[in-house]
Every structure is written in structure tokens, then in C-alpha cells.
Chains A and B, each alone.
Chain A
Amino acid sequence: MKCSYTKKSVLGLAALMVAASVQADEFTKGDLERWQGQFMEVVKQGRELWTSPKLGTNGVACGQCHPNAANTHSETYPKFQKQIGKVIPLWEMINWCLRNPLEGQPLAADDPKMIALQAYVTYERRGVKLEPGKH
């Protein structure tokens, strides 16, 4: 019984795939431009937050220590951070900076501001090879 259930599932999945293929996974130059535009808009928001004195509470901006997001090393995350004592993703390190040098409140991982900050930082490191864990 269990076996026939699995067969039905497989058949069902195959049917779905056929249906999807009718619509085809094709996209145009216009789509590519639109998607890139969406991304760059978030990068721009991230740059604004990065240089804003209002992200924390003491007027200090991320960009004061990290011009062009340099020395953020987004390509090395996740990595072990000795004072935190474990392997963390980039957004947790951003929150460490928000709490400490900026004397502010941390952001949720899916907060649009956190996503924008990460989009900006990563964009400034475009072209650099991934080296997770590197110090």
C-alpha cells in the first residue's frame, strides 16, 4: 500500500512538471533588467542605511569605520568569531556592530533593513571569491 502511494505521488509530480513546462522557464532581457533593477534598489537603500547617522543612537554610521563597506569581508561568512564563541553568519556580526559601536538595537534577520545592509556589503565585494571561514 505504501508502495502504490509512492507511485501515485511520482505520477502526480510528473504531471505537475509537464504542466509547468508548458509555461516554459523563459525570460527576456527586459526581465533581467527588471530583476537587476530590483536588486540595485535594495543595494541603494543599503548604502543609505550604511552612511546614516540614524541607524544607531549615537550618530555613528557603519561607513565611518567601513568606507565602501571595506573590511567587512562578506565573502568569509559564515565564520568563527572568537568573542562570540561560535560560527555566525554576516547578519549576526552586523547586529554586533549595531549594538556596540552604534549603541543601537539589533535587527531581525529578515528585517528589510538588514537585507538591504547585506545587499550593499555584498555588492561592494562583488567579484571576490568566496572563502567561508577565512580570517
Chain B
Amino acid sequence: MYHINRSRRHFLQTSGALALGSTLPISLVELAFADAQQNFTFAYISDAHIQQIKGNRFVRNWDRGLIRAVAETNLLNPKPDFVMFGGDLAQLGSAPELDHGAEILSALKYKTRYVMGEHDYYLDLGAYWEKLFGPQYHSFDHKGVHFIVLNSIRTYDDWTYHRWPTAEQRMLEMAGLDNPNSSPFMVGEEQRQWLKKDLAKIPKTTPVVVFSHSPLQKIYKGWNFWTEDAEQIQALLKPFNKVSVIYGHVHQIQYNQVGNISFHSVMATAWPWPYPQAYAQAEQYLPKLTVPMNRADPFFERDATGWQFINVANGYVDLHYLLPENSERSVGFDKAAQKPVDAQYQSEGARIPPQSHF
């Protein structure tokens, strides 16, 4: 299940790109099929949070994370079939931030598709983002897999349209992760109806992969590690044999299995977030299955950031996390256990001290 990943790493390590390859923040996903000819990979970069200071000045730290992920993704061999960007390209949704981020991503040598994040959305409700990157939700098919992109970070209309005196304030209120004035994310009725119709055409044996920004499961409401209508989306996906949901937003490794649905999060290129259990005042529901990422070392600014490459094999996804100056992580679907497992750290005894969060 992991041999493709190893050979990929072997390439990075022997191609003269060792220093770069060993420290990059990307995720690669592989979907594998019975016929190995049909297996393919794509790369996943997420949560860049490009932040404008003033004029042509942007926060250097966040710029560097995205630039590095793009450079590493371009080194992958074999080449990924496409790249996903998982949302929160901007910090405050402005045209200068989205433009600057788009320019950095324009260096990618692959077809790139985009997921909407709340930091991209709440200034103009996605208007400028749509001009750059296309529709907020859509589906496409690739080598026998049905892919769905959702805008999962919408919320109640009252909050969006009637609560705030200005669009700028609305953006700021939603941008604060722990801000009690923000509002729970949701996919919403319009997209649920669309999704129902979209899925009606798809045979139940077709592997389905869903991209969203927020988890389509409920982990911790206080930080919007949450989607209000998660159960309704899960119900629409339930009839399919193989379903994977890949989400950003959380800036950390999470994975879970709910019925037929495998959930995987991806890392941010900008900065890591604590696991909700590190907030002593709140109850949270981090999936028991998840072996956490290493606790961040503040003294190395890229620590606990990353990117992914994803293998798609037999309709299941395996995520390979590329983590700067950390051991890589691989989380793939285990057919016997019928859930995602970490290739190295899943058992209690295999875990290392930095994986304990408090």
C-alpha cells in the first residue's frame, strides 16, 4: 500500500533535492485500483493564509510556506495528475491577498483546483475568488473516481447578511478562530440539493472523493472544527461503497472512519493549530483513531506545517504527509480493519513523545 510513496520519497532524496525534499510541507494522495494502471496520485496544498501588511508587503513567514510547498510539489516524480488547494489562500479575503497567493500558485506545473475557505469568502462572499478560480462548488471525474468540491464554510443567512455593519467586520469576525462572535460552518440547503442530484447519476460502486474546507464531521464547535449539517452530507454519501472526505481548516493531522466514509485532514503551509484537547476549558471530540502530529517547535517556523501527496489506489486514498524536518507520516485505508491507519505510529506502543498534546 505504501510502496509508491517510498519510491516517490526515494526520488526526492536522490534527485539532488534532498534538503528541499526532506523539509517540505505538502500532502500527496494516491487512489489505487485493482488494475494498477488505473492508480494515480494528486498533491494537496492547503491553508496558506497569505496576509497583506500594507501595499506590496505580505507576512514573510506565510509566503515562505506556500512558496516551499509549490517548489516541492513541482519536484514530484512521477508527476501528480493534478493539485488541490484546500482553502484559506488569503487571511482576510482581499483581492491583493488572493492575487498574491494566486501568483505563487501559478508556478505549479499541474492543473490546480481550489476549495473555498472562510478566509477567502467572508469579505465579498467569494465574488473575487470565483473570478480567479471558478465555481464555489462543482464535481469532476478522473480515472474512474468521482470528485466533489463543496463550499462547506457558509453559515446561517442571518449571520452573513444581517449581523454586521460592514463586509470588513464580517470578515474579521469569522477570521478569529476562537471568536465567540463567529458562526458554525455549514454546506447549506442549496448545495445539499445540488449534491443529491449530482450523486444520483453516479453508480454506487464508483469511488467518491469529497473535498471540503471544514471537516464534514463534528469535532470542536468552539474553533469551527465542525460542519453544522455534517450528518446530512454523510447521509447523502452513505449509499456509496468507497467514500473519502479530505478537508483543510484544522492545520493538523486528523483522520476518522464513520460508517463507509473515511475522513482525512491536511496540514497548513502557514502555521499549525493546537489540538482542541489543548484548550483546557472545552469538551471536544477528536477522533480516537487519530494519532496526532508532532507538537510544534516554535523555534522552527515551518515546524508542524506540511503538504500532502495522495495515492488513489483501488478507490481508497492514502495520504502521505511531507513535514519539514520531521519524519513523514502516511495514513492509508486498512482493508482488514476497514478504517484509515497510520503506517508507523498507530499502535499505542509505537508513538513518540512529541505526539502527546496537553
Contacts and interface: CB of A to CB of B under 8 A. Distances in A.
Interface in A36-93: 51, 57-60, 63-68, 70-71, 73, 81-83
Interface string B271-307: 1111010111110000000000001101101000000
Nearest to B299: A83
B281 A58 contact: no
Interface in A88-135: 96-97, 100-101, 124-128
Given A65-B271, A67-B223, A128 B178 contact: no
B272 A59 contact: no
A67 B176 CA distance: 8
Interface in B234-280: 271-274, 276, 278-280
Contacts of B178: 63, 67-68
A70 B279 contact: yes
Nearest to B223: A67
A83 B222 CA distance: 33
Given A65-B272, A67-B274, A70-B274, A125 B280 contact: yes
Q: Size class of B's contact patch?
A: 20 to 34
B279 A67 contact: yes
B107 interface: no
A127 B280 CA distance: 8
B contact patch SS: loop
B358 interface: yes
Residue of A63, A68, A124, A125 with most partner-chain B CB within 10 A: A68
Give the interface centre of A63, A66, A96, A125 by most chain B CB atoms within 10 Å: A66
A26 to B, nearest CB: 33
Contacts of A97: 298
Contact of B222 (A51, A68, A81, A82): A68
Interface string B106-145: 0000000000000000000000000000000000000000
A107 B39 CA distance: 55
Contacts of A64: 177, 271
Contacts of A73: 358
Contacts of B272: 65
Contact of B273 (A51, A65, A81): A65
A120 to B, nearest CB: 12
19 contacts: A51-B176, A51-B179, A58-B59, A59-B51, A60-B61, A64-B271, A65-B271, A67-B177, A67-B279, A70-B274, A70-B276, A70-B278, A71-B278, A82-B299, A124-B279, A124-B280, A124-B281, A127-B280, A128-B280
Interface of A: 51, 57-60, 63-68, 70-71, 73, 81-83, 96-97, 100-101, 124-128
8 smallest CB-CB distances across A and B, nearest first, come from A67-B178, A70-B274, A71-B274, A83-B299, A70-B278, A67-B177, A70-B279, A68-B279
